[in-house]
Amino acid sequence: MSLDDVLARIDADLPAATDRLLDLLRIQSISTDPAYKAECDRAADWLVNDLQSLGIKTEKRTTPGHPMVVGHLDGDGPHLLFYGHYDVQPVDPLDLWDRDPFDPQIQDTDKGQVIRGRGASDDKGQLMTFVEACRAWKSVHGTLPCKLTFFLEGEEESGSPSLVPFMREHADELKSDLALICDTGLFASRVPAITTMLRGMLGEEITITGANKDLHSGMFGGPGINPIRVLSKIIASLHDDTGRITIPGFYDGVPEISDELRAQWEGLGFDADEFLGDVDLSTPAGEQGYTALEMIWSRPTCEVNGIDGGYTGDGFKTVLPAKANAKISFRLVGTQDPEAIRASFRKLVQDMLPPDCTVEFKDHSCAPASSTDTSDPAFAAALRALSDEWPDNAAYIGCGGSIPIAGLFQNILGTTPMLIGYGKDDDQIHSPNEKYDMESFHKGTRSWARVLHALTNNV
Ligand code: BES
Ligand code: ZN
């Protein structure tokens, strides 16, 4: 029996595999919103059950937040660990969805069939590609070609707060020869890829308070300080006219990429016009002097993700608000230190506060950037395996997003992460109408079978 038998089994099982994914997508596992705690639990239970059905000894492990799902299968060959996350992003704005985000559906589009629903791409569809590859392998061979650990998280979308203590506490159990992560994308929606650079992330929320209550803007406007005006000024000061971030020390640890890497990225033929054009944009708006791809993969950013205060309902209200709030995230690269940047940002805000204003800070997620050493021959073997499945040859790429665990595997467990995923740029992850192409799901599953074969025959 061969890899071809496993691939044929995957092809034959695609309808049943799709039904299983739809089932998982019906669970509303939004990790950031406490109202969905029971649903996160239900998703963990679903996965425990499914992995148990594959003969993998799996448990739901409690944490102060949402549970981890950990499963083990003994076997010969290398010890591989697989990581994915079962939690999803909130669905709002709900009115921009064409259908219920948790009533997933297979739809025909002009680019082929898609699986529509929250989490279809990020990350339930992706994590199920690996599970389905294992299922097919097991049903053909009766066993898997390696020792395998599953490690599935339910807090990735809310900054993985329980991850570090959990990994430290269970380090011996989670150590492996290689950690496979399925939470990234293809390059330019087409080229299979191993992601070797991920940006880090720092989340800060600030609330500026002026008066002790909302006021009439005719009666108090003028002498009364307006916290929205103060907040706007602070936000406007975070970038200079060339797009650089002005927080003192922010660029400490930001490397310029090597000429070799720049040449490799240029060779990928990224089409910035098409990338931006697809979302009705035309002009890269980041730091001057860098290409759009460099802005995403190798430069840090500061983005305001949400801003709130005063009256934002229908109609109009002449209010002088007591409070203004903003959620701000920083994407980090190189060896930028999230905690040092947090401290410097807070000082900048404090220093800009006028009389009568106070500020409260709330820290959200924080993870340094990570990059992977690809010198282990397993990487070349996996690249070849991916190239066998897709029309284009596989490439090493960067990623503008953040996956906190990638760096933690390296730093806490000493395990190299290998990031392979099949998401496409138009999957609308974190947005309304998220989808996963049936091609991603099907070829992704086939790709994992090929990668498992390559890693267990060549490592
Ligand atoms: N799957 C994404 C990471 C990603 C984003 C991969 C874009 C490929 C392209 C992941 O689930 C994610 O969204 N992570 C969050 C982490 C944050 C909350 C710490 C992110 O990047 O915003
Ligand atoms: Zn994800």
Q: What is the per-residue pLDDT across 10-24, written as a single tens digit (0 to 9) for each?
A: 999 999 999 999 999
pTM to 2 decimals? 0.94
15 & 131 share domain = yes
362 & 217 share domain = yes
Q: Which ligand ends up closest to the CA of 421?
A: 1
Domain stops at, among 312, 342, 367: 367
Q: What pLDDT score was predicted for residue 457?
A: 85
**90 in a domain, yes or no?**
yes
Q: What pLDDT score was predicted for residue 278?
A: 93
One-letter-per-residue 3-state SS of the chain: CCHHHHHHHHHHHHHHHHHHHHHHHCCCCECCCHHHHHHHHHHHHHHHHHHHHCCCEEEEECCCCCCEEEEEECCCCCEEEEEEECCECCCCCHHHCCCCCCCCEEEEECCEEEEECCCCCCCHHHHHHHHHHHHHHHHHHCCCCCEEEEEEECCHHHCCCCHHHHHHHCHHHHCCCEEEECCCECECCCECEEEEEECEEEEEEEEEECCCCCEECCCCECCECCHHHHHHHHHHCCECCCCCECCCCCCCCCCCCCHHHHHHHHHCCCCHHHHHHCCCCCCCCCCCCCCHHHHHHCCCEEEEEEEEECCCCCCCCCEECCEEEEEEEEEECCCCCHHHHHHHHHHHHHHHCCCCCEEEEEEEEEECCEECCCCCHHHHHHHHHHHHHCCCCCEEEEECCCCHHHHHHHHHHCCCEEEECCECCCCCCCCCCCEEEHHHHHHHHHHHHHHHHHHHHHC
Asked if the model's pLDDT at residue 458 lies above 80, the reply is: no
Confidence of residue 1 (pLDDT cuts 50, 70, 90): low
145, 79 Cβ separation under 8 angstroms: no
Name residue, tokens 């009389």. Answer: 355
Report pLDDT digits (tens) over 241-266.
Answer: 999 999 999 999 999 999 999 999 99
276, 282 Cβ separation under 8 angstroms: yes
Q: What pLDDT score was predicted for residue 217?
A: 98
29 & 143 share domain = yes
Report pLDDT digits (tens) over 198-224.
Answer: 999 999 999 999 999 999 999 999 999
**396 in a domain, yes or no?**
yes
Q: What pLDDT score was predicted for residue 159?
A: 87
CB atoms within 10 A of CB 259: 8
220 & 117 share domain = no
Report pLDDT digits (tens) over 365-375.
Answer: 899 999 999 99
Q: CB of 156 closer than 6 A to ligand 1? A: yes
Atom of ligand 1 nearest to the CA of 122: 1
Of 87, 330, 402, the one to substitute when testing ligand 1's pocket (max ligand atoms within 8 A of C-beta) is 402
Cα torsion for 229, 230, 233, 238, to the nearest 10°? -140
Q: Which distant-in-sequence residues (6+ apart) come within 8 Å of 157 by Cβ? A: 30, 31, 32, 85, 87, 88, 89, 122
217 & 358 share domain = yes
**Average pLDDT of the residues in 328-339:** 97
**292 in a domain, yes or no?**
no
Domain that holds residue 141: 3-198+369-457
**Which CATH number goes with the domain that contains 329?**
3.30.70.360
**165 in a domain, yes or no?**
yes
Amino acid at 334: G
Q: Which ligand ends up closest to the CA of 161?
A: 1
**Average pLDDT of the residues in 390-407:** 96
**260 in a domain, yes or no?**
no
C-alpha of residue 402 to centroid of ligand 1, in Å: 5
Q: Which distant-in-sequence residues (6+ apart) come within 8 Å of 333 by Cβ? A: 197, 199, 200, 254, 255, 298, 299, 300, 369
Report pLDDT digits (tens) over 55-90.
Answer: 999 999 999 999 999 999 999 999 999 999 999 999
172 & 137 share domain = yes
**Which CATH number goes with the domain that contains 143?**
3.40.630.10
15 & 88 share domain = yes
Atom of ligand 1 nearest to the CA of 160: 19
**289 in a domain, yes or no?**
no
157 & 38 share domain = yes
Asked if the model's pLDDT at residue 459 lies above 50, the reply is: no
217 & 342 share domain = yes
Q: CB of 153 closer than 6 A to ligand 1? A: no
397 & 419 share domain = yes
CB atoms within 10 A of CB 258: 9
Domain stops at, among 345, 367, 389: 367
Q: CB of 249 closer than 6 A to ligand 1? A: no
Q: Whose CA is nearest to atom 8 of ligand 1?
A: 184
Name residue, tokens 């406490």. Answer: 34
Q: Whose CA is nearest to atom 17 of ligand 1?
A: 159
Atom of ligand 1 nearest to the CA of 158: 18
Report pLDDT digits (tens) over 437-447.
Answer: 999 999 999 99
C-alpha of residue 391 to centroid of ligand 2, in Å: 25
**278 in a domain, yes or no?**
no
C-alpha of residue 428 to centroid of ligand 1, in Å: 12
Domain stops at, among 311, 336, 367: 367
Q: Whose CA is nearest to atom 1 of ligand 1?
A: 183
Report pLDDT digits (tens) over 101-136.
Answer: 999 999 999 999 999 999 999 999 999 999 999 999
Amino acid at 243: G
Q: Whose CA is nearest to atom 20 of ligand 1?
A: 402
Cα–Cα distance measured from residue 269 to residue 290, given in angstroms and rounded to the nearest whole number: 15
Of 156, 158, 303, 420, the one to substitute when testing ligand 1's pocket (max ligand atoms within 8 A of C-beta) is 156
Q: What pLDDT score was predicted for residue 147?
A: 97
Q: How many domains does the chain have?
A: 2
Q: CB of 192 closer than 6 A to ligand 1? A: no
Name residue, tokens 């897709």. Answer: 390
- Sign of the Cα torsion 262, 263, 269, 271 reads positive
Amino acid at 259: D
325 & 413 share domain = no
351 & 378 share domain = no
**245 in a domain, yes or no?**
yes
**Average pLDDT of the residues in 185-201:** 96
Asked if the model's pLDDT at residue 332 lies above 60, the reply is: yes
**Average pLDDT of the residues in 403-413:** 93
- Mean pLDDT estimate for the chain: 97
Structural tokens at position 232: 């706007």
Asked if the model's pLDDT at residue 158 lies above 50, the reply is: yes
